[in-house]
């Protein structure tokens, strides 16, 4: 499976943006959200697949700025044919990971968690003012379903833009995210029983410091104080929302469960984006009765 993961970037027909009926990568978060040169960045994704489990997910760091895709030195893949990472020693895995990182690959889940060490010279070409806004790295994520035959149409490809700067107010991810049902909060991971064909009010809750004030430096070198304007994107398997995208401070949607669901157990997801690259999300597992 490793070769098609590394050599192919797939495209699929898109479903409705809010409907989860196939493999989807809904969001990708970097931690820290706005690293400095030399920082170690870890990545997580909200990847959902209602029908087929995910076999592997590959992560690449792309060329800065105008990157449209990802590529690595093809010769690196020669040693991967027929490779079973579970048979390698810790030292062998570390050596392989170092080689792949040098070529652009920063992770192969579930074997190698995605991490990226930002090169120390990333901002060297910029003057002191430009370094405050920095440059943008692009990370591509390819999720592969667990099935015997995989073609390009089965892959799910997503891109994540990661700012690298020396900002005085670097961005942070806007989490953790909470979700209430008709005003009631439930512990994370709790499966909530809902009636079929009924409408419920879902509301997002955020920490007090989730919405940040930050300094933006214009191209003319002028510093401006701005405030984030996060928005929320809602996803479901069956049923409907009255709105699928809401802008803070509008944190509620009306969710109508399906009257005749094909699945008794489903999920609803909400992703928070702060418009600066920061992301967070939560899932509400439900049981329809």
pLDDT value at position 89? 87
* pLDDT band with cut points at 50, 70 and 90 for residue 10: very low
Average pLDDT along the chain: 87
Mean pLDDT across 183-211: 95
- The confidence score (pLDDT) of residue 61 equals 83
Q: CA separation (Å) from 13 to 59, 156, 186, 233, 268?
A: 21, 10, 35, 20, 22
In this prediction, residues 151-164 reach a mean pLDDT of 89
Domain ranges in the chain are 2-164, 178-288
Neighbouring CB atoms inside 10 A of 253's CB total 22
Site of tokens 């035959």: 149
pLDDT of residue 76: 56
| CA dist., res. 19 & res. 22, Å (int) | 9
pLDDT level of residue 198 (50, 70, 90 thresholds): very high
Q: What tens digit of pLDDT does each residue of 250-278 get?
A: 999 999 999 999 999 999 999 999 999 99
Q: Is the pLDDT of residue 111 over 70?
A: yes
Q: Does 218 score more than 50 pLDDT? A: yes
Highest mean pLDDT among 43-47, 59-63, 86-90: 43-47
Quick one: 212 exposed, middle or buried, by C-beta within 10 A (0-12, 13-18, 19+)? middle
Instruction: Indicate if the pLDDT at residue 230 is higher than 80.
Output: yes
pLDDT of 69 reads 45
Is pLDDT above 60 for 137?
A: yes
Residue 104 pLDDT greater than 90, yes or no: no
Residue 255 phi, psi dihedral angles, 5° rounding: -110, 120
pLDDT for 73 equals 55
Residue among 264, 209, 266, 204 nearest 236 (CA): 266
From CA 161, how far away is CA 82, in angstroms rounded? 32
Q: What is the pLDDT of residues 61-74, one digit of tens each?
A: 875 544 444 455 55
- Asked whether residue 248 carries a pLDDT value surpassing 70, the answer given is yes
Q: Which of 39-53, 99-113, 128-142 has the lowest mean pLDDT?
A: 99-113
Q: pTM for the whole thing?
A: 0.84
Q: Say how far residue 217 (Cα) sits from the centre of its chain.
A: 27
- For the domain made up of 178-288, the CATH class stated in words is mainly beta
Determine the pLDDT at residue 220: 83
Asked if 142 and 8 touch (Cβ cutoff 8 Å), the reply is: yes
């Amino acid at each position: 499976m490793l070769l098609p993961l590394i050599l192919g970037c797939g495209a699929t027909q898109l479903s409705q943006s809010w409907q989860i009926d196939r493999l989807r990568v809904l969001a990708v978060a970097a931690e820290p959200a706005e690293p400095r040169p030399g920082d170690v960045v870890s990545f997580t994704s909200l990847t959902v697949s209602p029908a087929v489990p995910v076999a592997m997910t590959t992560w690449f760091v792309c060329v800065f700025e105008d990157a449209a895709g990802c590529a690595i030195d093809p010769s690196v893949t020669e040693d991967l044919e027929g490779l079973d990472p579970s048979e390698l020693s810790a030292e062998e895995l570390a050596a392989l990971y170092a080689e792949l990182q040098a070529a652009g690959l920063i992770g192969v889940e579930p074997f190698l968690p995605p991490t990226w060490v930002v090169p120390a010279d990333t901002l060297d070409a910029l003057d002191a003012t430009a370094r405050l806004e920095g440059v943008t790295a692009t990370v591509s994520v390819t999720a592969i379903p667990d099935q015997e035959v995989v073609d390009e149409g089965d892959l799910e490809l997503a891109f994540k833009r990661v700012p690298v700067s020396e900002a005085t107010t670097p961005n942070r991810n806007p989490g953790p995210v909470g979700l209430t049902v008709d005003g009631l909060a439930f512990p994370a991971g709790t499966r909530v029983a809902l009636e079929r064909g009924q409408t419920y009010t879902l509301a997002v809750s955020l920490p007090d410091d989730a919405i940040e004030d930050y300094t933006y430096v214009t191209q003319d070198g002028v510093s401006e104080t701005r405030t984030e304007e996060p928005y929320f994107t809602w996803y479901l398997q069956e049923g409907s929302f009255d709105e699928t995208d809401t802008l803070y401070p509008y944190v509620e949607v009306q969710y109508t469960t399906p009257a005749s669901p094909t699945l008794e157990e489903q999920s609803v997801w909400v992703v928070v984006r702060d418009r600066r690259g920061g992301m967070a999300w939560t899932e509400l597992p439900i049981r329809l009765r």
